[in-house]
């Protein structure tokens, strides 16, 4: 059992790194803080520590409804989707609603009307399913799109039917399937460059599989095979944890022969989440 309190900053949040970084006063970030809270929620919760983490996140909620990745950053970003994955009692209905509303208004730049119009004028009929960018104003990528899908699925489960959310979930899944690498997995979303296939990564393959929970068919079978393949060679905690969660989202319990070194708070939290019965996909689907 990880003693999350000893790794926690005074502001209630957690830094990415806890070794060298903590000794040098590493600052709290939204992403590791959310994963630590999800790990605590999935395993054993330390009430005071958990409340401190929630307090940190509330302190960096922005007036537009989104969340910034770090207190010093003045823009809401993709981490808003992560915050929306927290348990009901942590975030509060109003803040969750505002976060989901913010996410509704964000898409990859390539699926915005301006870019589509430009492409249409250039005779490009290609369709650009709506995903989510890491940072507003950039293109959609696999990880933020996966987290957006999971956040919207969770909101649908809690709030009932909403065609706007459902459309974005379907579009996001279409985006992911369109960005699958030739080897069956995913990298960050650049599956071909200069006519050559890009290689997939373990962590992004696992993340995409989590977001594609409930989807079946030959593409998913190919993706699961890629995940199993990655699991035999992957040595990183982040990669192994996401691969296990990805396969678990499709009903497959998988283990790695490797006992990875957990170098960061993210690593430790993700490994704890992977080991728990509950995971992001089952939580999102209810």
Partner 1 sequence: MHADKHRSPLMTRRQVLGAGAAGLALTRCGRAPQVAARKFPVSSVSIVKASGYTMDVYDTVYRMIADHSLDVRGKRIVLKPNLVEYDANTAINTHPTIVHATFEAFRKLGAADVRIAEGPGHRRGTLDLADAAGYFSTVAKFEEQFTDLNTDAVAKRTIVEPVSKLKSLYLPHTVLDCDLLVSVAKMKTHHWAGATLSMKNLFGLVPGAVYGWPKNVLHWAGINESIVDLHHLFPKQFAVVDGIIGMEGNGPIQGTPKYAGVLVAGSDPAGVDATCCRVMGIDPKQISYLQMARGVENLGEGAFRQTGERIASVRTNFELVEEWKGIRLG
Q: Which of 203, 244, 269 is nearest to 17 (CA)?
A: 269
Q: Which residues, other chains included, contact 7 with Cβ-Cβ below 8 Å and sequence gap of 6+?
A: 14, 18, 22, 36, 265
**Is the Cβ of residue 11 or residue 162 nearer to partner 1 in the bound state?**
11
| Closest distance to partner 1 from the beta carbon of 238 (Å) | 5
128, 152, 175, 186: which one contacts partner 1 (CB under 8 A)?
A: 128
**Is the Cβ of residue 185 or residue 198 nearer to partner 1 in the bound state?**
198
Using rule CB under 8 A, residue 73 touches partner 1:
yes
Q: Which of 255, 234, 243, 187 is nearest to 210 (CA)?
A: 243
Distances (CA, A) of 262 to 40, 211, 255, 272: 16, 24, 16, 11
4, 16, 102, 175: which one contacts partner 1 (CB under 8 A)?
A: 16
**CA–CA distance, 269 with 277 (Å, rounded to integer):** 14
Helix axes 47-59, 30-42, angle to 10 degrees: 150
Q: Which region, judged by CB under 8 A, interacts with partner 1, from 17-25, 44-52, 57-65, 246-254? A: 17-25
Site for partner 1 in 98-127 (CB under 8 A): 109-110, 119, 122, 124, 126
11, 22, 27, 275: which one contacts partner 1 (CB under 8 A)?
A: 27
62, 188, 222, 285: which one contacts partner 1 (CB under 8 A)?
A: 188
Backbone angles phi, psi at 99, to 5 degrees: -65, -45
Using rule CB under 8 A, residue 193 touches partner 1:
yes
Count of CA atoms in the C-beta half-sphere (13 A) of 223? 34
Neighbours of 230 (CB within 10 A): 25
Instruction: Tell me which residues touch partner 1 (CB under 8 A).
Output: 15-17, 19-21, 26-27, 29, 31, 69-70, 72-74, 77-78, 109-110, 119, 122, 124, 126, 128, 133-135, 137-139, 141, 143-144, 179, 187-196, 198, 201, 203, 235-239, 261, 263-264, 267
């Amino acid at each position: 059992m990880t003693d999350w309190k000893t790794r926690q900053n005074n502001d209630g949040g957690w830094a990415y790194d806890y070794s060298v970084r903590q000794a040098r006063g590493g600052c709290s970030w939204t992403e590791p803080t959310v994963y630590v809270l999800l790990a605590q929620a999935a395993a054993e919760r330390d009430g005071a520590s958990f409340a401190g983490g929630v307090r940190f996140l509330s302190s960096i909620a922005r007036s537009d409804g989104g969340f910034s990745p770090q207190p010093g950053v003045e823009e809401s970003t993709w981490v808003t989707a992560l915050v929306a994955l927290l348990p009901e009692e942590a975030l509060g209905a109003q803040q969750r609603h505002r976060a989901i509303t913010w996410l509704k208004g964000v898409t990859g730049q390539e699926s915005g009307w301006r870019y589509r119009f430009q492409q249409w004028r250039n005779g490009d009929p290609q369709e650009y399913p709506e995903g989510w960018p890491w940072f507003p104003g950039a293109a959609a990528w696999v990880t933020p799109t996966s987290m957006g899908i999971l956040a919207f699925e969770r909101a649908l489960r809690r709030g009932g039917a909403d065609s706007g959310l459902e459309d974005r979930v379907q579009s996001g899944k279409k985006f992911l399937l369109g960005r699958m690498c030739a080897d069956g997995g995913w990298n960050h979303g650049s599956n071909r460059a200069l006519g050559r296939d890009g290689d997939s990564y373990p962590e992004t393959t696992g993340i995409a599989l989590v977001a594609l929970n409930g989807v079946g068919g030959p593409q998913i079978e190919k993706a699961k095979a890629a995940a199993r393949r990655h699991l035999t060679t992957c040595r990183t905690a982040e990669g192994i944890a996401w691969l296990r969660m990805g396969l678990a989202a499709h009903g497959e319990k998988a283990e790695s022969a490797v006992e990875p070194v957990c170098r960061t708070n993210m690593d430790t939290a993700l490994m704890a989440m992977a080991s728990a019965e509950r995971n992001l996909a089952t939580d999102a689907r209810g």
